[in-house]
C-alpha cells in the first residue's frame, strides 16, 4: 500500500513550519509505503507561507506543491489531494497544519489500519480532537501550561494501559488516515459542507453503510492546536458548525444515535477514567482512602485505618499523594486534620488512580463511590460474618455485592489467612481480584505506645465485644458474674437490666481512646468471648500490657498465637461452661508473656499493603478489567433498580439531539446558590459540559480562597474559549445575575 499525505494550509507560517518539520522528521518510519507529501496552499496572498512552501518544494521536503489561485476552503483544498490519491490508487492521510507528529504516530496508525480488513479510517489520540481526545488537557484556567510537549508526555504516561485501538462511530479529520479502498470508492469530501465541520463524519457515514469502520489508534498521538485556521477566517465558525450538523442529521440519521451509544459504552467510559493514571504536575499519582463510611467511634477497623494513615504521614511515599476522603467532623474526631503529609477531602470528586476501602461494602452506593473515584479499586475484606450469621444475612444483600467485588475489584486485602480462606470458600467461582494477605502486626511493641505512663492495676475482669450476638460479650459477662460473685466484671456491650450486681456495662465504640486505655490498663484479665474474628486486635492489646488473656478457641486467635515461639498466660476455652475456670486460672497467672518469632509492626504491614495497592498500577490488564467491571456494574445496577422499582443510575444513551453534545441549560441562580466544591462542580457540568479536572478544581478553590467572587468566576468561564467552542445549543437562565449594572440596580432597589 502506498500513501499520500495531504496537508491543507491556511496562513500562519510558524505553525505550518512546525507541522511540516514534525512530519518530515518521522517519514522514515513509513518509507515502505512510499509516502508522497502533498502541500496545498489555500492562502496564496500570504507571502511568508508561499515562500516557505516553495523553499520546501525546492529542497524536496514536499513532493507536490499546489497553490490555489484563491482561498477555496478546507474541503475543496483537501479534495484536490484526494483526487490525486484516488487517481494513483493510494491511501490518504489528511493532516491539519495545526498539528504536530511524534515518533511512532505514522507507523502505528498504518499498523492499525492493517490490523483488520474492515478498518477504513484511523485517527490518533490527541489533546484536542473531540472523541479522539485522550487524555484531556487541563482546562486553560487551571494554571497549568498546556504546551504540546506536556500534552504528549501526559499521553505517553498512560497510553500503554489502553487497547491498541478502539472502534468508534466516526473519526476526526484533524489527522485522518483513510484506506486505499475507501479513497477509491468514497474518496472525496462533500463540498456542500463549505469551509468545513462535519465533512469527515459524512465521509465515514457513507463508507460505513457498506461496512467500513473507524477506529482510534490509542498508541499513536498527534498534538492539535484546534480550529486555528478557522480563527484566521472572518467567519462564524460556530454558526457554520450548527448548519453542518443539521445537514449531517438529515443525511445520516444513524450518526447521532451511534455517537450516543458509543459514549454510553463500557469501553468509552473506561478509557475516559484511565486518564486518572496521568501523574500530577509534581509527577505523582493520587491515592484515595475512602473513609466516607467511618464514624465518630473507636473500633478495630478504625484502629487499623489510623495506623495505616499515620504510617503514610510519617513516611510519605515518592511518586504518590494520599488523599483521605471523609466528613470533616470524622477527620477531627480521629485526628486526621492534624496530620502533615496526607490531604483531607470531604467530597467524592473523581481524579484518583487508586481508591482503597478499608472494609467490606454493605451497600451498592459504597461500590459506586469507589468506582466513581478511580479506575483501580481495592477493598479490605476483613471478615464474612455478615454473610455467615443468618440474622445479619437476612437484612442485607452482601452475597450479591461481595460476589461482584470478588469478580471485579482490582485487589482485595485480608488481615489473616483465616479471613482470606473463608472469603474464598464462599466465592469460589470467577474470583478475578488480585489478593494480598498479611496477618496484622503481632509484635506487642506495636501496640504498647498508647499505654505508656499508665499505672497497671487489677481492678476488674474486662469482657470485650459489642451488641452483636456473635461477640457473646453480654452472655459471657452474665456467666462470669453468676459463677464468680467476688469478681468485678466490666463488659463492653448491652445485655439488659438483669445483669448480676458485680457486672457493669459500657457502650462499645463511644468511649474515648484515653478512657479506654485506662480501662485496659486497670484490668486483671482480658476476656475475648467472640465466636468470630478476622484477626482480634484486643489479643494484641492485652499482650502489649502483659495482661492474661482468656479467649474462645477460634481460628483467628490460633493464627496470632502461632507467630510466637512461646506463650504464657493465654487461656483458650472451647465452650461457655469452661469460661469461669479459664478466668480463675488467668487471674491467678497475673501476667502474660510471649516470645516473638516473625511478627510485623505497623510500618511493615502498612508498607506491604501500599506496595500491593500501587503495584496494581503496573498490571497490563487495568483497562480490560475496568471495561468488564463497567459492563458487570451496569447489570448489577439494573438488577438493583428493578428490585427497588427505581430507574438505574449511570451512563445511558441520551435523546437524539442536533448536536454532538445535547442542548444544555445553564441555570446561573442555581449555580450561584451553591458554595465550595459544589459550586465549582456545578458550573463545570452546566457551563462546560464536563466534570472538573483535578487541576481545574484546585485552581478554582484557590481563586475562591483568594477572594474572587462567584459572579466574576462565572463571567470568566463564560468568556473562555472552551465555552465559546462548546458544540451545543445553550440556554442561559438568569444571565442578568452576571450583569454588573443589573447587580447595582438590584442593590439600589434593596436599599430603597
CATH code: domain of residue 588:
3.40.50.2000
Residues 109 and 256 in one domain: yes
Point out the domain boundary residue: 573, 597, 621. Answer: 597
In terms of Cα–Cα distance, which of 230, 252, 131 is closest to 661?
131
**In the prediction, which pLDDT does 529 show?**
98
Residues 127 and 156 in one domain: yes
DSSP string, 106-174: HHHHHHHHTT-TTEEEEEEEBSSSGGGB-SPPPPTTSS----HHHHHHHHHTTGGGS-SEEEES---TT
Residues 514 and 615 in one domain: no
Q: Is 274 among the domain residues?
A: no
**In the prediction, which pLDDT does 729 show?**
64
**In the prediction, which pLDDT does 239 show?**
58
**In the prediction, which pLDDT does 430 show?**
73
Q: Is 651 among the domain residues?
A: no
Q: How does pLDDT run across 622-655, given as a tens digit for each residue? A: 999 999 999 999 999 998 888 766 555 444 333 3
Residues 143 and 12 in one domain: yes
User: What's the CA gap between 634 and 271, in Å, rounded?
Assistant: 16
**In the prediction, which pLDDT does 402 show?**
96
Q: In which element (H, E) is residue 379 found? A: strand 376-380
User: What's the CA gap between 479 and 488, in Å, rounded?
Assistant: 13
What is the gyration radius of the CA atoms in the chain, in angstroms?
A: 33
DSSP-derived 3-state class of residue 684:
helix
Residue 453, phi-psi category: left (phi > 0), alpha (psi -120 to 50), beta (remainder): left
Which residues, other chains included, contact 88 with Cβ-Cβ below 8 Å and sequence gap of 6+?
2, 4
DSSP-derived 3-state class of residue 52:
helix
Q: Is 198 among the domain residues?
A: yes
**In the prediction, which pLDDT does 749 show?**
35
Phi, psi torsion values for 149, nearest 5 degrees: -65, -40
Q: Rounded to an integer, what is the distance from CA 253 to the centroid of its chain?
A: 34
Which residues, other chains included, contact 539 with Cβ-Cβ below 8 Å and sequence gap of 6+?
526, 528, 549, 551, 557, 560, 570
**In the prediction, which pLDDT does 153 show?**
94
Cα 357–367–373 angle (5° rounding)? Answer: 70
Query: Which CATH number does the domain housing residue 117 bear?
Result: 3.90.550.10
Residues 292 and 421 in one domain: yes
Q: How does pLDDT run across 342-371, given as a tens digit for each residue? A: 999 999 989 999 999 999 999 999 999 999
Point out the domain boundary residue: 576, 597, 618. Answer: 597
Cα 669–673–679 angle (5° rounding)? Answer: 105
User: What's the CA gap between 350 and 420, in Å, rounded?
Assistant: 30
Residues 172 and 46 in one domain: yes
Predicted structure pTM score: 0.83
User: What's the CA gap between 549 and 573, in Å, rounded?
Assistant: 11
Q: Is 642 among the domain residues?
A: no
What DSSP designation does 397 have?
-
User: What's the CA gap between 164 and 216, in Å, rounded?
Assistant: 9
Residues 199 and 63 in one domain: yes
Yes or no: say if 431 and 406 are a contact pair by the CB < 8 Å rule: yes
**Which three cell numbers mark 679?**
459550586
Q: Is 201 among the domain residues?
A: yes
Domain that holds residue 471: 445-597
Residues 531 and 406 in one domain: no
Residues 194 and 51 in one domain: yes
Q: Is 700 among the domain residues?
A: yes
Split into its structural domains, the chain has a count of: 4
3-state secondary structure 156-202: HCCHHHCCCEEEECCCCCCEEEECHHHHHHHCCCCHHHCCCCCHHHH
**In the prediction, which pLDDT does 674 show?**
85
**In the prediction, which pLDDT does 654 show?**
36
Residues 16 and 52 in one domain: yes
Yes or no: say if 128 and 721 are a contact pair by the CB < 8 Å rule: no
Spell out, as residue ranges, where the chain has pLDDT lower than 70: 138-145, 195-196, 227-240, 495, 644-663, 693-695, 698, 721-722, 724-729, 740-752
**Which three cell numbers mark 82?**
484526494
Yes or no: say if 173 and 202 are a contact pair by the CB < 8 Å rule: no
Residues 250 and 199 in one domain: yes
**In the prediction, which pLDDT does 739 show?**
74
Q: In which element (H, E) is residue 571 found? A: strand 570-573
**In the prediction, which pLDDT does 455 show?**
96
Yes or no: say if 401 and 367 are a contact pair by the CB < 8 Å rule: yes
Q: Is 384 among the domain residues?
A: yes
Q: Is 638 among the domain residues?
A: no
In terms of Cα–Cα distance, which of 322, 241, 140 is closest to 726?
241
Residues 206 and 160 in one domain: yes
Amino acid at each position: 500500500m502506498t500513501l499520500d499525505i495531504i496537508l491543507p494550509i491556511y496562513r500562519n507560517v510558524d505553525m505550518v513550519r512546525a507541522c511540516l518539520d514534525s512530519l518530515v522528521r518521522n517519514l522514515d518510519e513509513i518509507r515502505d509505503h512510499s509516502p508522497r507529501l502533498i502541500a496545498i496552499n489555500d492562502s496564496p496572498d500570504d507571502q511568508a507561507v508561499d515562500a516557505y512552501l516553495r523553499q520546501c518544494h525546492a529542497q524536496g521536503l514536499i513532493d507536490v506543491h499546489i497553490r490555489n489561485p484563491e482561498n477555496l476552503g478546507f474541503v475543496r483544498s483537501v479534495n484536490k489531494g484526494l483526487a490525486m490519491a484516488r487517481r494513483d490508487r493510494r491511501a490518504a492521510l489528511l493532516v491539519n497544519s495545526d498539528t504536530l507528529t511524534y515518533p511512532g504516530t505514522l507507523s502505528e496508525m498504518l499498523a492499525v489500519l492493517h490490523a483488520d480488513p474492515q478498518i477504513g479510517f484511523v485517527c490518533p489520540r490527541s489533546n484536542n480532537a473531540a472523541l479522539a481526545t485522550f487524555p484531556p488537557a487541563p482546562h486553560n484556567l487551571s494554571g497549568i501550561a498546556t504546551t504540546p510537549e506536556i500534552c504528549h508526555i501526559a499521553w505517553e504516561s498512560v497510553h500503554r494501559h489502553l487497547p491498541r485501538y478502539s472502534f468508534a462511530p466516526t473519526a476526526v479529520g484533524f489527522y485522518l488516515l483513510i484506506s486505499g479502498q475507501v479513497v477509491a470508492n468514497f474518496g472525496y469530501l462533500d463540498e456542500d459542507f463549505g469551509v468545513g465541520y462535519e465533512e469527515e463524519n459524512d465521509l465515514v457515514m457513507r463508507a460505513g453503510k457498506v461496512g467500513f469502520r473507524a477506529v482510534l489508534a490509542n498508541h499513536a498521538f498527534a498534538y492539535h492546536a484546534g480550529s486555528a485556521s478557522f480563527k484566521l477566517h472572518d467567519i462564524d465558525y460556530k454558526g457554520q458548525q450548527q448548519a453542518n450538523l443539521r445537514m449531517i442529521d438529515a443525511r445520516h440519521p444513524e450518526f447521532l444515535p451511534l455517537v450516543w451509544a458509543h459514549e454510553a459504552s463500557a469501553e468509552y467510559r473506561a478509557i475516559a477514567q484511565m486518564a486518572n493514571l496521568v501523574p500530577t504536575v509534581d509527577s505523582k499519582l493520587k491515592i484515595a482512602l475512602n473513609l466516607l463510611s467511618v464514624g465518630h467511634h473507636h473500633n478495630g477497623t478504625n484502629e487499623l485505618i489510623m495506623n495505616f494513615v499515620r504510617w503514610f504521614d510519617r513516611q510519605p511515599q515518592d511518586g504518590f499523594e494520599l488523599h483521605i476522603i471523609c466528613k470533616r467532623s470524622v477527620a477531627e474526631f480521629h485526628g486526621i486534620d492534624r496530620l502533615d503529609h496526607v490531604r483531607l477531602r470531604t467530597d467524592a470528586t473523581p481524579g484518583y488512580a487508586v481508591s482503597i476501602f478499608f472494609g467490606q461494602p454493605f451497600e451498592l452506593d459504597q461500590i459506586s463511590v469507589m468506582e466513581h473515584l478511580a479506575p483501580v479499586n481495592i477493598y479490605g475484606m476483613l471478615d464474612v460474618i455478615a454473610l455467615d450469621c443468618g440474622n445479619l444475612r437476612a437484612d442485607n444483600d452482601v452475597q450479591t455485592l461481595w460476589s461482584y467485588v470478588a469478580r471485579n475489584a482490582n485487589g482485595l486485602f485480608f488481615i489473616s489467612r483465616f479471613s482470606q480462606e473463608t472469603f474464598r470458600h464462599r466465592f469460589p467461582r470467577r474470583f478475578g481480584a488480585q489478593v494480598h494477605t498479611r496477618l496484622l502486626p503481632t509484635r506487642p511493641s506495636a501496640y504498647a505506645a498508647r499505654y505508656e505512663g499508665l499505672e497497671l492495676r487489677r481492678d476488674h475482669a474486662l469482657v470485650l465485644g459489642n451488641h452483636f450476638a456473635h461477640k457473646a460479650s453480654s452472655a459471657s459477662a452474665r456467666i462470669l458474674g453468676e459463677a464468680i460473685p467476688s469478681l468485678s466484671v466490666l463488659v463492653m456491650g448491652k445485655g439488659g437490666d438483669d445483669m448480676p450486681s458485680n457486672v457493669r456495662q459500657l457502650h462499645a465504640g463511644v468511649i474515648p481512646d484515653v478512657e479506654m486505655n485506662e480501662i485496659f490498663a486497670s484490668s486483671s484479665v482480658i476476656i475475648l468471648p467472640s465466636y468470630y474474628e478476622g484477626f482480634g486486635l484486643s489479643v494484641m492489646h492485652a499482650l502489649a500490657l502483659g495482661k492474661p488473656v482468656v479467649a474462645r478457641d477460634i481460628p483467628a486467635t490460633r493464627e496470632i498465637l502461632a507467630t510466637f515461639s512461646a506463650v504464657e498466660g493465654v487461656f483458650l476455652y472451647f465452650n461457655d461452661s469452661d469460661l469461669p475456670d479459664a478466668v480463675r486460672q488467668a487471674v491467678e497467672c497475673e501476667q502474660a508473656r510471649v516470645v516473638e518469632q516473625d511478627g510485623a509492626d505497623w510500618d511493615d504491614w502498612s508498607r506491604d499493603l501500599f506496595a500491593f495497592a500501587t503495584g496494581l498500577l503496573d498490571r497490563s490488564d487495568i483497562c480490560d478489567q475496568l471495561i468488564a467491571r463497567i459492563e458487570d456494574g451496569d447489570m448489577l445496577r439494573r438488577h438493583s433498580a428493578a428490585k427497588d422499582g427505581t430507574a438505574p443510575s449511570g451512563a445511558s444513551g441520551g435523546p437524539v439531539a442536533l448536536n454532538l453534545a445535547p442542548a444544555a441549560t445553564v441555570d446561573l441562580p442555581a449555580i450561584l446558590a451553591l458554595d465550595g466544591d459544589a459550586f465549582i462542580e456545578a458550573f463545570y457540568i452546566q457551563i462546560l459540559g464536563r466534570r472538573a479536572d483535578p487541576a481545574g478544581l484546585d485552581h478554582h478553590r484557590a481563586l475562591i480562597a483568594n477572594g474572587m467572587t462567584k459572579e466574576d468566576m462565572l463571567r470568566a468561564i463564560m468568556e473562555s474559549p472552551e465555552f465559546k467552542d462548546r458544540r451545543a445549543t445553550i440556554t442561559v437562565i438568569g444571565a442578568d445575575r452576571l450583569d454588573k449594572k443589573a447587580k447595582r440596580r438590584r442593590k439600589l432597589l434593596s436599599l430603597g
